[in-house]
Amino acid sequence: MSFLDLLFLYVMITSIQPIINKRMIESARQKLIGKIEKKRNSRVILLVHRQETMNYLGFPVYRYIDINDSEEVIRAISMTDPSIPLDIILHTPGGLVLASLQIARAIKRHKGKITVHVPHHAMSGGTLIALAADEIVMAKDAVLGPVDPQIGEYPAVSILKLIKEKPISEIDDKMLILADVAQKALNQTKEAVKELLSGNYPDDVAENIANSLVEGKWTHDYPITYEMAKELGLKVRCDIDPEIQQLMSLYPQPIQKKGSVEYLPFSKFNK
């Protein structure tokens, strides 16, 4: 075999290897998802975002919850028998309120038990989704985040604080408009949080959780630990299944963009 033949063979192998590795990882994920479904007798849906990058203000980031995600998750839920429990695995920095709330409401309407698992982090819109669950299971060092609305690059609560502290004569029209939008966003988000918590929490507990998460107690990217979540009154546990944590190892940092929602389309739990 000549040198050129060897070079050609080397180029072919190195070109095919990433494709083979990708297929092997995808196959391993599908097998493990099926194993978890069989073990828990539930439908498993993953919402996983990688390539996380942080800007100065924190989240949102490069990969985030978008409309495509909400369409896929809602489709997966609609394919599942209403009586079958759902295990939602979240690994996300957050994203669009519209998409997050659509997912959360679809989860809330599902009749079977809903468990959200957080192996690492479910910030902002991810936390909004988690609030719709009957139970949240976090890894020991996993975190949730506040769901206070952001108006452009500014937190809504900070805009309102500015309006209250400065004389009206020193505030321009644009900031006054932003303040009006900020107040509406705060009201809407707080009502949405209480809606998601309703039925699983007493009204006074739901009110306290909503106030803490929405009204600017922390910065938007502040990590809420398991202990803090429990202190808030959320129904959380920290005994996450090792196989769910193992599943996260099969989501390496991707080089190319891929779908962030995954489930078994032909699961035994389909209607």
Q: Quick check: helix, strand or coil at residue 163?
A: helix
Question: Model confidence over 168-225: pLDDT tens digits?
Answer: 888 888 899 999 999 999 999 999 999 999 999 999 999 999 999 999 899 999 999 9
In a domain, 159, yes or no: yes
Q: Counting beta carbons within 10 angstroms of the beta carbon of residue 2, is it exposed (0 to 12), middle (13 to 18) or buried (19 or more)?
A: exposed
Task: Read off the pLDDT of each residue in 35-48 and give the average, rounded to a whole number.
Answer: 94
Q: Above 50 in pLDDT, residue 13?
A: yes
Tokens representing residue 253 in the block? 């940092």
Q: Same structural domain for residues 51 and 140?
A: yes
Q: What are the b/e assignments for 27-47, b being 16+ CB within 10 Å?
A: eebeebbeebbeeeebbbbbb
Residue 1 covered by a domain: no
Higher pLDDT, 252 or 52: 252
103-139 confidence digits (pLDDT tens): 999 999 999 999 999 999 999 999 999 999 999 999 9
Take residue 92 and report the two structure tokens written for it.
Answer: 């996300």
- To the nearest 10 degrees (0 to 180), the angle between helices 173-197 and 203-214 is 140
Check residue 23 and give its pLDDT. Answer: 75
Number of H helices, E strands in the chain: 9, 10
CATH number assigned to the domain comprising residue 103 = 3.90.226.10
The number of distinct structural domains making up the chain is 2
Cα–Cα distance list, 239 to 19, 136, 163, 189 (Å): 35, 10, 45, 30
Domain range spanning residue 152? 148-217
List beta partners, residue 95. Answer: 65
Mean pLDDT of all residues belonging to the chain: 87
* Confidence at residue 254, expressed as pLDDT on a 0 to 100 scale: 54
- Residue 267 is predicted with a pLDDT of 76
Instruction: Kindly state whether residues 41 and 160 are assigned to the same domain.
Output: no
pLDDT at 55: 46
Question: Does the residue 19 lie in any domain?
Answer: no
User: What pLDDT, on a 0 to 100 scale, did the predictor assign at position 263?
Assistant: 77
**Do 210 and 229 have their domain in common?**
no
